[in-house]
Amino acid sequence: MRILGIDPGYATTGFGLILSEGSTLQLLQYGTVTTPKDLSFPQRLEMLYDDVMRLVEAVKPDAAAVEELFWGHNITTGIGVSHGRGVILLALAKSGVPIFEYTPMQVKQAVVGYGKAEKRQVMDMTKRLLHMEKVARPDDAADAIAIALCHARAKSSLLSRLGQMTEGT
């Protein structure tokens, strides 16, 4: 299964594509989608939509894992990121990619085993699980890889398999 992890934003959106086959995990590609500051906000959203559509067409994921937003202290930034996240979800839905959403705590729990892990712990464990030489940069891309890993681990969990078994009976 090709899983596209996305760390949403409107200025910078991180993405990470992994291949999950049974217990084997492989990092295929990662990076960021950025929008120029000199464009108007609606133009940046349009560019983000177009770029995510092109990304999905290029990498052909079987599923997309998108991080749910954590609202910090800067509500103005949070609102902009929310708009960007909405555009990303729309692009994925229009592309027909199944979408799965995870909270930051779920990502930390799946990758590190502790829902209140620190960012550096998540990055280090991501590096180890995918046999990477170094932590992915920028942070947005590293976060997106962790989100993809979260989905890979959620889909291979015992509870997930039990759910599939009961649905088919």
User: 133 an active-site residue?
Assistant: no
Alpha-carbon span 88 to 91, nearest angstrom: 5
> Do the strands 12-21 and 24-34 form a parallel or antiparallel pair, or are they unpaired?
antiparallel
- H helices of the chain, in order, are 41-59, 75-95, 104-112, 119-129, 139-155, 158-168
Which residue among 46, 50, 67, 124 is the active-site one?
A: 67
Strand partners, 18: 3, 27
Residue with tokens 């692009």: 91
Catalytic residue among 50, 51, 139, 140: 140
Whether 51 sits among the annotated catalytic residues: the reply is no
Active-site choice (7, 118, 139, 143): 7
Contact indicator for 147, 67 with CB cutoff of 8 Å: yes
| Residues labelled as active-site residues | 7, 67, 140
